[in-house]
């Protein structure tokens, strides 16, 4: 059985998380019997199993590996951080950080331009586009219309990247996941249900870099 840690705090409900190392954390209120937390864990066993599988998978960025960055296939090579044609040179030490920095710089331009293109086409109004290192979500939209994307979005297929941008722009009109929100999304991305399934295949990226 995976390692499980029970954490008590001043809260009213229980919650489950799986950290980057695959450790399961069950948060529970003070005074609640641990047996109830164990039952809660068992009820969510399938979710925990999927999360652990995602956490254990990593991007392959060894020398010679191929990765897709905003739809372009590039081959990873050992060397000083730079791009030459379809080869991306990365140092062996702190390789993940070097790839993250490279991707963040690309994402700032790519996601800004993509968001602007979709907004102009469909009449959305937003305030800004930002890139973060967030692991929990591919994107988010604040009540002020500030849209933030995780830089890891760069490794998704282009149609999925576009669908994520549409999702966040729709939040500028509906700050919830109501029926009206999903109708808005599906006007632009009719197959969004398939996109959501596709995104699950890339959950492991949130644990990479």
Residue 80 lies in a domain: no
Give yes or no for a contact between 74 and 87, defined as CB atoms under 8 angstroms apart.
yes
Instruction: Looking at the structure, tell me whether residues 48 and 116 fall in a common domain.
Output: no
Residue 105 lies in a domain: yes
Residue 30 lies in a domain: yes
- Which pTM does this prediction carry? 0.76
Could you read off the pLDDT of 135-158 as tens digits, one per residue? Answer: 889 999 999 999 999 999 999 999
Give yes or no for a contact between 65 and 47, defined as CB atoms under 8 angstroms apart.
no
Q: Kindly state the tokens that stand for 106.
A: 């690309």
Residue 150 lies in a domain: yes
Instruction: Looking at the structure, tell me whether residues 47 and 137 fall in a common domain.
Output: no
What total number of domains does the chain contain?
A: 2
Could you read off the pLDDT of 163-203 as tens digits, one per residue? Answer: 999 999 999 999 999 999 999 999 999 999 999 999 988 98
> What are the φ/ψ torsions at residue 120 (nearest 5 degrees)?
-65, -40
* Strand 72-78 to 66-69 pairing: antiparallel
For residue 18, the model assigns a pLDDT of 84
For residue 136, the model assigns a pLDDT of 81
CA distance 119 to 166: 8
As a whole number, mean pLDDT of residues 19-36 equals 89
Its domain, for residue 184, covers 94-207
Instruction: Looking at the structure, tell me whether residues 46 and 112 fall in a common domain.
Output: no
pLDDT of 48 > 70? The answer is yes
Residue 132 lies in a domain: yes
């Amino acid at each position: 059985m995976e390692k499980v840690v029970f954490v008590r705090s001043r809260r009213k409900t229980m919650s489950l998380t799986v950290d980057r190392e695959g450790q399961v954390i069950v948060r529970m209120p003070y005074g609640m019997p641990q047996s109830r937390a164990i039952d809660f864990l068992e009820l969510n066993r399938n979710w925990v199993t999927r999360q652990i599988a995602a956490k254990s998978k990593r991007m392959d960025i060894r020398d010679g590996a191929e990765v897709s960055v905003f739809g372009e296939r590039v081959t990873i090579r050992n060397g000083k951080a730079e791009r030459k044609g379809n080869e991306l040179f990365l140092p062996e030490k702190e390789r993940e950080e070097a790839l993250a920095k490279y991707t963040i710089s690309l994402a700032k331009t790519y996601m800004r331009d993509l968001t602007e293109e979709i907004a102009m086409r469909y009449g959305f109004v937003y305030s800004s586009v930002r890139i973060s290192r967030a692991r929990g979500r591919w994107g988010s939209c604040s009540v002020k219309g500030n849209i933030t994307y995780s830089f890891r979005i760069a490794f998704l297929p282009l149609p999925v990247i576009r669908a994520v941008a549409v999702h966040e722009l729709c939040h500028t009109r509906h700050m919830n996941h109501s029926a009206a929100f999903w109708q808005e999304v599906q006007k632009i991305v009719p197959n969004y249900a398939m996109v959501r399934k596709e995104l699950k295949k890339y959950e492991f990226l949130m644990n990479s870099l």
